[in-house]
Amino acid sequence: MGTNNSKINHAKRKSTDNNYQIISTEQLSAKTSDEFNTKKFKYIEGRRFHNWPDVHYDLPNDETEIDRLHLEHFLLRDVWQSNFSSPIHEQLVSGCNVLDVGCGPGAWCLDMATTYKNSKFYGLDISPIFPSEIKPKNTIFQECQILDGIPHKDQTFDFCHMRFMFPSFDENQWRTYVIKEVGRVLKPGGYLEIAEYKLCENCGPILKRLLDLRCEMMSNIGRNPNIASLLGDFMRDTDLFEDIIYEEKIIETGSWGGKLGEVAKDDIFTRMHAIKPALMNHIKCSGLGITSEDYDEMMNQCIDEFNEYKTYFVTCRWYGKKL
Ligand SMILES: C[S@@+](CC[C@H](N)C(=O)[O-])C[C@H]1O[C@@H](n2cnc3c(N)ncnc32)[C@H](O)[C@@H]1O
């Protein structure tokens, strides 16, 4: 690990008015071909996944997942009544540089870029699922494996944001590398904000079984399903941040939580579908004897539990100022 600027060296810059869009040479020559898709992606049980070697991120990156992430963005914005908690609004209005690490389809960047037109939003993701042509002028997306280094110079950004990256890195990567590397590209006085899911409370027995299976699978590949609670300590341990603050919100899930609760339930359901290919592989390897049909049946049954048990999820934000 460490800073690796080789990807950016391979890149060509294409002028789009005042902004620059960075496109790798490989992307330029093979963008529309099947070969590009075959190399970039792999397909398991009808779902499309990234194809990076040694990257253990196990959620798909296909249209269904892109739709889910867009929907989840608006769900979270409604729950929080904001897109961020850091005290950075004034700077965003005046114009500053913002980085979204693991931006996915770019929902957060696109929304923020529309509100804060004087600021520039840079999104990085291992899967090129963000918009490449039709997007606000103040957004720049780039394909990048974060563990190879963020392809930006030290002290470039006023605000760095990360959301739902808990399945992406193992505990050691979070602790020793990821937060430090994001801190490196932050300017002194800039803010780092990390948003995550924390807990599910009042789970019915079937939902609990499904979530336990997911936790077991994550632990098997070194992920800590409870990483959200530790992020503040990891930020503190870098000695890079001060004024570290924690906030949380509850997402009532199911129709007992009204319209938002319905959306949250759909999001969970789609997420359970999204992890199914990886989970079935884990189930097969662990000899647990749960079939694909059993899993579908459990998913269908747990839907009724949300209202019965008044299930809710806790989502949190950590943010701190770079020294
Ligand atoms: C759960 S999604 C969250 C996306 C986005 N932050 C959001 O809130 O909608 C996690 C994202 O992290 C990306 N990712 C996972 N591992 C990565 C890595 N090592 N480097 C860059 N991106 C990564 C995935 O491709 C995926 O888009």
Residues 6+ apart with CB under 8 A from 134: none
Q: Vertex 206, ends 205 and 207: CA angle to 5°?
A: 95
Average pLDDT score, the chain: 89
Is 150's pLDDT higher than 70? yes
Is 191's pLDDT higher than 70? yes
Is 12's pLDDT higher than 60? no
Report whether residue 165 contacts ligand 1, using a CB cutoff of 6 Å: yes
Report whether residue 83 contacts ligand 1, using a CB cutoff of 6 Å: no
Is 126's pLDDT higher than 90? yes
Q: What's the pLDDT at 285?
A: 84
Is 177's pLDDT higher than 80? yes
Q: Which atom of ligand 1 is nearest to the CA of 76?
A: 8
| pLDDT per position as a tens digit, 217-253 | 999 888 999 999 999 999 999 999 999 999 999 999 9
- The backbone torsions φ and ψ at residue 180, rounded to the nearest 5 degrees and listed phi first, read -65, -45
Q: What's the pLDDT at 10?
A: 30
Distance 101 CA to ligand 1 centre (A): 7
Q: What's the pLDDT at 157?
A: 98
Q: What's the pLDDT at 53?
A: 87
Share of the chain above pLDDT 90, in %: 81
Q: Identify each DSSP E strand in 87-185 by its residue range.
A: 97-101, 120-125, 139-143, 157-163
Report whether residue 141 contacts ligand 1, using a CB cutoff of 6 Å: no
Q: What's the pLDDT at 36?
A: 58
Is 25's pLDDT higher than 90? no
Q: What's the pLDDT at 94?
A: 98
Mean pLDDT throughout 25-36? 47
Lowest mean pLDDT segment, chosen from 66-75, 207-216, 239-248: 207-216
Is 5's pLDDT higher than 50? no
Q: Which atom of ligand 1 is nearest to the CA of 129?
A: 27
Mean pLDDT throughout 152-167? 97
| pLDDT per position as a tens digit, 97-107 | 999 999 999 99
Is 38's pLDDT higher than 80? no
Report whether residue 192 contacts ligand 1, using a CB cutoff of 6 Å: no
Report whether residue 168 contacts ligand 1, using a CB cutoff of 6 Å: yes
Report whether residue 57 contacts ligand 1, using a CB cutoff of 6 Å: yes
Distance 286 CA to ligand 1 centre (A): 27
Report whether residue 146 contacts ligand 1, using a CB cutoff of 6 Å: yes
Share of the chain above pLDDT 70, in %: 88
Is 35's pLDDT higher than 90? no
Is 259's pLDDT higher than 60? yes
Q: Which atom of ligand 1 is nearest to the CA of 100?
A: 6
Is 269's pLDDT higher than 50? yes
User: What domains lie within the chain, and their CATH numbers?
Assistant: 6-200+224-255+315-322 (3.40.50.150)
Q: Identify each DSSP E strand in 60-216 by its residue range.
A: 97-101, 120-125, 139-143, 157-163, 186-201
- The count of residues in the chain is 323
Mean pLDDT throughout 153-165? 98
Mean pLDDT throughout 34-52? 83
Q: Exposed, middle or buried: residue 189 (CB in 10 Å: 0-12, 13-18, 19+)?
A: exposed
User: Contacts for 281-286 with beta carbons within 8 Å, 24 or more apart?
Assistant: 281/44, 282/213, 282/216, 282/217, 282/220, 283/213, 286/216
Q: What's the pLDDT at 39?
A: 81
Report whether residue 163 contacts ligand 1, using a CB cutoff of 6 Å: yes
3-state secondary structure of 98: strand
Q: What's the pLDDT at 286?
A: 83
Is 22's pLDDT higher than 60? no
Residues paired with 191 in a beta bridge: 159, 321
Mean pLDDT throughout 286-302? 90
